Amino acid sequence: MSDSAQARLSAAERERALDELTRHFVIGRLDAAQFDERCHRAIEATTKQQLAWLFTDLPAYAAPPPPAPADPIAPRLAVIIGAIVSFTVVLALTSGNWAWWLLLVGAAVVVPVYVRIAR
């Protein structure tokens, strides 16, 4: 046997094994009794070989896909909306004219158009 198979386990490796067993249970590859038995064996395992045995009949679990990149429009859109609202409030309060609030209605039309063009 190779030295890596007889290597002692760390707590993090046991945790990863338990997480993977949980995923297989949730997907339906293990029933409750199998899941319980394998979790107990994973906790009691001392070597990597003992841990690997628990997964011999299970397919390797693919890592979840990386998170989608952040929307580049969102920060610019927040700045534009904040500027329009601030500008409207300042103009309405300083002039005493309610008509400036119509800028917010205009913004409700302009912002979706901007988003569509920016994408």
The residue ranges of every structural domain in the chain are: 1-64, 73-118
Q: For residue range 74-117, list pLDDT tens digits in order.
A: 777 778 788 888 888 888 888 888 887 887 887 787 777 777 77
Amino acid present at 33: A
User: For residues 58 and 19, is the Cβ–Cβ distance under 8 A?
Assistant: no
Q: Exposed/middle/buried for 82, CB within 10 Å: 0-12, 13-18, 19+? A: exposed
Q: Is the pTM of this model over 0.85?
A: no
